[in-house]
Structure formats: structure tokens, C-alpha cells
């Protein structure tokens, strides 16, 4: 608990007056096992928030609490400042797109989409128009009278989206909706999902374990880890300034440098750079793409400027990756560094590498739990 | 790929079995239904439709057949009314007690039919357990008073004091009660199976879309469990229609069913041809029923 992300929580509570959904100190246990250990976060109106985490992090449980499928063991959930958590699922202005779509097999596509409208006693005359509109929005107009069993996974996905959006919910919850689709369809649906969200302006809370998907879609990413909120920030911020070592490693690839900081100098083995932070043992995250090959002219290199760190390393492995190659470097005392270099050509032996000192980001070492 | 010899070796035993023990006896029975019995109680191999005409003409058979169907329909209704809620509870709400409850449904099936029939006899008899309790609590007085006020002409013949209820045993009521008890598990099991097959996220999706629990039951759970309901109802109806032990044990003369008549014709009455005709007629009814319900189930079943 000592490593709870105090900074990000403080950031969020400043914005709470315009939050649509406020999750406050939420606790959830399954039997003796705690699944959520005090989650606090706010979701702004119209935001695309992704809850990211590996399996078992509690991300789906958090979603199910918002939907009303599970009961809280502590804390509260507010919508527009009013308590949401005591309200039964069927009375919440929240809709869910389920991971396995959960299309009613005994109803046609049209009736599936109309289900929520009929349940809420929408005027009978409105139903056909709204259903037709919703199906058009997800490009499924031609399938209105089809049986769900005749649809492919991607098509069922679209029906599930239409079925949820037709109710004009305040918040749309999406539980790993793309994980069952193949890679191409998945990318296509990501794009469509994002433009759909812009079009309808509904708040999306999207759960995924795929960090690339999270980065591509979201306004903000909430990273969960073992029931804790590790960090919540925009994709660029969470990638560029990860708060913790875990966040740095989970989102993208990184090198964790465990350095000694003394007199404004950080040293991690053979790698030394200038830093402004307080002294002590500090962990830094250095993204592989921040490392460059030092250019040589006739075997000589130019002198580095003060804010550039240089080190010498042996290339142990070079993986061709099209535009960028991934290099595995060994520098001196067994430290391994991964570097992503643009079009280096084949490399062998020892080379000089450099990075800008600001690219090494201080991160908190993550707790023992 | 399996060899020709292997395929034959696998296929022949069941074919032989079905032919020898099912088709041939049925064929013999079918032949019997067109023969007749002479005045000296021998079976005459003289082909005619007399037995089927007798079946149509004699109101005794028609009455008993209709009574059997009424009893079967009543048993089916009661078994569904008792079985569906239990199957629903078992599938959706019995969390830790699920296994125990499921066993409790199954266990009666291990007990002999006769044992259960005789148990009901001791419960329902004039000096039986039920009457004992009712008399002890004076509930019989009340029940008889109600009955008497309905049938005023009977009022004088009954003393309003500590008399047992005579209509419990040896009545269609007793037959319905006993058969409901015996066949309810056959209704519970297919309904339970169909409820278990409903993905739980459909129930959540229904709540999510604004349906109350009751409306979710009506619009999602019930429609998706209908194949099980139909299978269970078919079991109860068909098994009851062919039952002859319960009427024998607790039915008395007013509770006789069609199978008792068939048994009688093959036994003491020694009229195998007429018995065979009734049996065949019943078989046609049951097969038509099975055919219909199977098609209905298939149509309701959605992949």
C-alpha cells in the first residue's frame, strides 16, 4: 500500500466536479480474495477511458461493478454526483458490450437491438426507426431479419454494439470486445469504434489487456495491477512518463536502469548520465527507441554534449524489424540493454551508443505485493 | 477409415437385437390385432377389423382412454408446476446446495416403483398417515363440511366427527398424486439441462438492457428453456398414459386406466386380439405425439 499512486489520484480529484462517473475507494472481494483494493478514479463525460491490465488485475470486475452485475464490498460509485452502486443493473443508464457478445439466440438481429427499447417501454412508433438507425450506424442494415446464428463473430460484435448504443446510455462499457476477432478485423473495428465514439459522444469505458489497443483508442488509460490503480494518464503521458517500473514495462518495451544517484550523476554500471533528482537508489525507465547509435566519421565520434549519456556495448543480437531493428546490447558488467535503431544495417561487435539524459525517466519501484 | 468388416461387426448386433426383440414381437402383435377369439376361447386366425370397430363402438374403452388422457394431462401439468420452479432454483440460485439438491431429485429414481406405490397406499389409506394427521387436527371435519355443503344431499349421511376422508385412496386423485410424484424427476431433469445450457451472460445482457428479473425470465430464460419443458412434458405425458401400476395400487375402480384394460385383456379376459388392437392404437397415439413434440423441440432449439 506504501506505493499507492498518490500523484495520479490527486490529479483526478481536482477534476471531480465535472466528472460523469466517480469511482471512490472501491473494494471488492471474491470470498477471502481481494480483487479490487481501493480504486479511485473519475471518468469525464464523453471520454474514452481504457482500463488496462493483465488477467487477474481486476479490470473486468471493475467494469461489472459499474454495470451492476456485482456488489461493492466498500467504497462507492457515483454518476452525476448521485450514488449509482445501490441501483440494480436494469435501472442504470449504462450499457455493456460483452466479451462474447451475448446476443439473444432466439431473437432476430432486429429484435436483439429492439430489446432494450422494449424493456424500457419506448414508444412503439419510435422503435423501428431507432433500431434501423442503430443498425445503419454499425453497417448491419442488411441483416435486420437474420438469425444471430448466421452471423460471423465480427457481425455479432456490431449487433452487440448497436444493441447497446440504441439505448443512448450515459456510459458504454466494453469488456474486451475485440479479443475474439482476428488481427485484421480487430484493427478495422478499433478504427470504427473510435470514430463511432466521436460520432455519438457517449462516454466509453473499454477494458482490455492489450496495451497497443489501449494506446490507439483512449483519451486516458487506467492501468490496473493486482487490484490497485497503478497509473491513470493519457496514452502519451503514460508511455512517456510512466509512474512506476511496472507501468513502464507493461506499456511498450523498456529498459529498467537501477542507478545510484550522487551529486547530480546517475550511474547504472557502465552507463552514467546527468540527473536533477534527489540522491539515492533510483530506478529509471529508458525506452529502446531513445537509444541512438553514435555516428562515426572515419572511425571517430564527435564529442557528446553534457546532457547526452554515452556508453559502449557489444551487440549480442540484431532482429530485423523493417524500419527499425531491435538490438540486444551487453554493456560491461553483464547489463543487458535493448535498443531500437532506425535502419542501422548489419552491425557486429562493439559500438558506442547514446541517449538524452531526459529520456531516462524516474519511476517508482513497484511494491512487494 | 474403418473396414467393411468392422462396420458390419458393429452394426449387426443392434440390428439383430432390434429385429428379434422389437420388430418381430410388434409384427406378431400387429397380426393378433386383426384376429379374433372364438366362443370356445381359442384364437382364430381370421383376418378382420372387428377389434378396431369394437374399440370405436364400445364407450367403455373410449371413456377409459379419455380418462387416461385426462390423468396424463393433469400429471403433466402438476409435474411441470412442481418441476420447473425446482429446476430453475437448482440451475440459477442453488449455489452450494446444488449437488445435494440434484441428488435429492435423482435418489427417488433408485427406489422401486412398487415401494413408492405402497408407501402412498399407507399414506393415503382410510387409516393412513394423512388421514391420521388430518383427523388429529380436525381438518377432516372442515373438509367434509365443505364437501357436504357442496353436495347437500350427502349431508345427512355423514357424521361431522373424526371421520377419515374416504376419497384419498382408490380414486383418480390418488393416481394423479402418485404418478406426479413418480414422474416429476423426469420433468425436472430435461428442464434443468436446458436451463443449464443458457449462457449466463444472456441473463446479464437482459438486465443490462433494462429488463427486470421477471421480464428477463419471461423474455429470455423461459423461451430458451422451452425445448426442455417440451421434452419433460412429453416424458410425463407418455409415461403416465402407459402406466398401469399406479392405477392398480391406488386407483380403485374409478381410477382404471387404459393399460389396465390391456393387461386385463391379455390376462383373465383372454382376448389377446382386442388387447393387441388397443395396444397398437395407443402406440400410434404416442408415436404421433413424439413426432410432433420432437419437431417442436427442434424448431425451438436455436444454435
pLDDT digits (tens, 9 = 90+) for B204-224: 999 999 999 999 999 999 999
pLDDT of residue A179: 84
CATH of the domain at A34: 3.40.50.300
The answer to whether A42 and A9 have CB atoms below 8 angstroms apart is no
Which residues of chain B lie closer than 8 angstroms to A113, CB-CB?
A: none
| C-alpha A147 chain-centroid distance | 34
Tell me whether A131 touches chain B (CB under 8 Å): no
Which residues of chain B lie closer than 8 angstroms to A106, CB-CB?
A: 220, 223-224, 300, 302
Answer yes or no: is A269 within a domain.
yes
* Cα separation, A94 vs B210, whole angstroms: 9
Instruction: Answer yes or no: do A240 and A266 share one domain.
Output: no
* Cα separation, A164 vs A136, whole angstroms: 14
Query: Domain end: A249, A280, A298, which one?
Result: A249
**Residue B223 distance to chain A (closest CA, Å):** 8
Query: Domain end: A249, A280, A301, which one?
Result: A249
Instruction: Answer yes or no: do A216 and A270 share one domain.
Output: no
Instruction: Answer yes or no: do A192 and A282 share one domain.
Output: no
Answer yes or no: is A151 within a domain.
yes
| C-alpha B109 chain-centroid distance | 14
The answer to whether A108 and A145 have CB atoms below 8 angstroms apart is yes
Q: What's the pLDDT tens digit per position in B139-183?
A: 767 776 766 665 544 444 444 445 566 667 788 889 999 999 999
The answer to whether A206 and A191 have CB atoms below 8 angstroms apart is no
pLDDT of residue B140: 67
Please tell me which residue, B230 or B94, carries the higher pLDDT value: B230
Answer yes or no: is A1 within a domain.
no
pLDDT of residue B224: 95
Q: How confident is the model at residue B37 (pLDDT cuts 50, 70, 90)?
A: confident
* B302 → closest Cβ in A90, A100, A149: A149
pLDDT of residue B163: 58
* Cα separation, B278 vs B296, whole angstroms: 27
Instruction: Answer yes or no: do A165 and A72 share one domain.
Output: yes
Query: Domain end: A215, A249, A283, which one?
Result: A249
Instruction: Answer yes or no: do A202 and A286 share one domain.
Output: no
pLDDT of residue B155: 44
The answer to whether B243 and B179 have CB atoms below 8 angstroms apart is yes
Size of interface A-B (CB pairs under 8 A): 72
Q: What's the pLDDT tens digit per position in A106-137?
A: 999 999 999 999 999 999 999 999 999 999 99
> Region B33-38: what's the mean pLDDT?
88
**CB B11: neighbour CB atoms within 10 A?**
10
Instruction: Answer yes or no: do A292 and A186 share one domain.
Output: no
Sign, CA torsion B188/B193/B196/B199: negative
Tell me whether B112 touches chain A (CB under 8 Å): no
Which residues of chain A lie closer than 8 angstroms to B206, CB-CB?
A: 90, 104, 115, 119
pLDDT of residue A367: 57
Which residues of chain B lie closer than 8 angstroms to A68, CB-CB?
A: 207-208
With a cut of 50, say whether residue B105 has pLDDT above it.
yes
Answer yes or no: is A369 within a domain.
no
pLDDT of residue A9: 43
For each of the domains in chain B, give its residue range(s) and CATH number, in order of start.
59-125+168-300 (1.10.3720.10)
Residue matched to cell numbers 402407459: B242
Supply angle C-alpha B151, B154, B160, rounded to 5. 105
Instruction: Answer yes or no: do A49 and A180 share one domain.
Output: yes
pLDDT of residue B300: 82
How big, in percent rounded to 5, are the helix, strand and coil portions of chain A?
30, 35, 35
Q: How confident is the model at residue B188 (pLDDT cuts 50, 70, 90)?
A: very high
Domain count across chain A: 2
Instruction: Answer yes or no: do A44 and A137 share one domain.
Output: yes
Tell me whether B96 touches chain A (CB under 8 Å): no
Average pLDDT, chain B: 87
Domain residue limits at A285: 253-363
Residues of chain A below pLDDT 70: 1-18, 366-369
Amino acid at each position: 500500500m506504501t506505493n499507492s499512486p498518490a500523484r495520479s489520484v490527486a490529479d483526478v480529484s481536482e477534476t471531480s466536479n465535472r466528472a460523469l462517473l466517480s469511482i471512490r475507494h472501491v473494494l471488492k472481494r471474491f470470498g477471502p480474495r481481494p480483487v479490487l483494493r481501493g480504486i479511485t478514479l473519475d471518468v469525464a463525460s464523453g471520454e474514452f477511458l481504457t482500463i488496462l491490465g493483465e488477467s487477474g488485475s481486476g479490470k473486468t470486475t471493475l467494469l461489472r461493478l459499474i454495470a451492476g452485475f456485482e456488489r461493492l464490498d466498500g467504497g462507492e460509485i457515483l454518476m452525476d454526483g448521485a450514488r449509482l452502486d445501490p441501483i440494480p443493473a436494469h435501472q442504470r443508464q449504462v450499457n455493456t458490450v460483452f466479451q462474447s457478445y451475448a446476443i439473444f439466440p432466439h431473437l432476430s438481429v432486429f429484435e436483439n437491438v429492439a430489446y432494450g427499447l422494449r424493456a424500457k417501454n419506448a414508444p412503439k412508433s419510435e422503435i423501428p426507426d431507432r433500431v434501423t438507425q442503430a443498425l445503419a450506424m454499425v453497417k448491419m442494415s442488411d441483416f435486420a431479419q437474420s438469425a444471430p446464428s448466421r452471423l460471423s463473430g465480427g457481425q455479432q460484435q456490431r449487433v452487440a454494439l448497436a444493441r447497446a448504443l440504441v439505448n443512448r446510455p450515459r456510459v458504454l462499457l466494453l469488456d474486451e470486445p475485440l479479443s475474439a476477432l482476428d488481427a485484421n478485423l480487430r484493427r478495422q473495428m478499433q478504427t470504427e469504434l473510435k470514430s463511432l465514439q466521436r460520432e455519438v459522444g457517449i462516454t466509453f469505458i473499454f477494458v482490455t489487456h492489450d496495451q497497443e489497443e489501449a494506446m490507439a483508442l483512449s483519451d486516458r488509460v487506467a492501468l490496473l495491477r493486482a487490484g490497485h490503480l497503478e497509473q491513470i494518464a493519457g496514452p502519451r503521458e503514460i508511455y512517456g512518463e510512466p509512474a512506476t517500473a511496472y507501468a513502464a514495462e507493461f506499456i511498450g518495451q523498456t529498459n529498467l536502469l537501477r542507478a545510484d544517484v550522487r551529486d547530480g550523476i546517475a550511474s547504472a554500471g557502465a552507463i552514467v548520465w546527468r540527473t536533477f533528482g534527489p540522491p539515492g537508489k533510483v530506478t529509471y525507465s529508458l525506452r529502446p527507441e531513445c537509444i541512438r547509435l553514435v555516428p562515426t566519421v572515419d572511425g571517430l565520434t564527435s564529442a557528446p554534449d553534457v546532457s547526452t549519456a554515452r556508453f559502449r556495448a557489444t551487440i549480442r543480437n540484431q532482429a530485423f524489424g523493417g524500419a527499425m531493428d531491435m538490438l540486444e546490447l551487453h554493456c560491461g558488467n553483464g547489463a543487458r540493454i535493448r535498443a531500437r535503431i532506425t535502419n542501422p544495417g548489419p552491425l557486429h561487435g562493439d559500438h558506442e551508443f547514446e541517449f538524452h539524459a531526459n529520456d531516462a525517466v524516474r519511476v517508482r519501484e513497484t511494491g512487494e505485493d | 477409415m474403418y473396414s467393411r468388416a468392422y462396420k458390419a461387426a458393429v452394426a449387426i448386433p443392434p440390428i439383430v437385437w432390434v429385429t428379434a426383440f422389437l420388430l418381430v414381437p410388434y409384427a406378431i402383435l400387429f397380426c393378433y390385432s386383426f384376429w379374433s377369439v372364438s366362443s370356445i376361447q381359442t384364437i382364430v386366425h381370421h383376418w378382420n377389423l372387428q377389434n378396431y370397430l369394437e374399440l370405436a363402438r364400445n364407450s367403455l374403452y373410449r371413456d377409459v382412454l379419455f380418462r387416461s388422457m385426462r390423468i396424463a394431462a393433469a400429471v403433466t401439468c402438476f409435474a411441470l408446476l412442481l418441476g420447473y420452479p425446482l429446476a430453475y432454483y437448482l440451475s440459477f440460485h442453488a449455489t452450494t446446495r446444488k449437488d445435494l439438491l440434484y441428488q435429492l431429485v435423482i435418489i427417488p429414481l433408485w427406489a422401486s416403483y412398487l415401494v413408492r406405490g405402497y408407501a402412498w397406499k399407507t399414506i393415503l389409506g382410510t387409516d393412513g398417515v394423512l388421514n391420521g394427521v388430518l383427523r388429529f387436527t380436525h381438518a377432516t371435519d372442515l373438509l367434509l363440511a365443505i364437501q357436504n355443503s357442496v353436495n347437500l344431499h350427502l349431508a345427512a349421511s355423514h357424521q361431522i366427527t373424526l371421520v377419515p376422508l374416504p376419497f384419498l385412496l382408490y380414486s383418480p386423485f390418488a393416481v394423479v398424486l402418485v404418478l406426479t410424484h413418480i414422474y416429476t424427476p423426469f420433468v425436472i431433469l430435461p428442464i434443468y439441462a436446458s436451463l443449464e445450457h443458457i449462457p449466463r451472460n444472456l441473463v446479464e445482457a437482459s438486465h443490462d438492457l433494462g429488463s427486470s428479473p421477471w421480464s428477463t425470465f419471461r423474455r429470455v430464460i423461459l423461451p430458451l428453456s422451452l425445448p426442455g419443458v417440451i421434452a419433460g412434458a412429453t416424458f410425463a405425458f407418455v409415461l403416465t398414459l402407459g402406466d398401469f401400476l399406479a392405477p392398480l395400487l391406488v386407483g380403485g375402480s374409478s381410477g382404471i386406466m387404459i393399460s389396465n384394460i390391456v393387461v386385463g385383456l391379455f390376462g383373465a379376459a383372454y382376448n389377446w386380439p382386442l388387447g393387441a388392437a388397443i395396444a397398437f392404437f395407443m402406440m400410434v397415439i404416442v408415436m404421433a405425439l413424439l413426432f410432433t413434440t420432437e419437431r417442436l423441440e427442434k424448431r425451438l432449439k436455436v444454435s
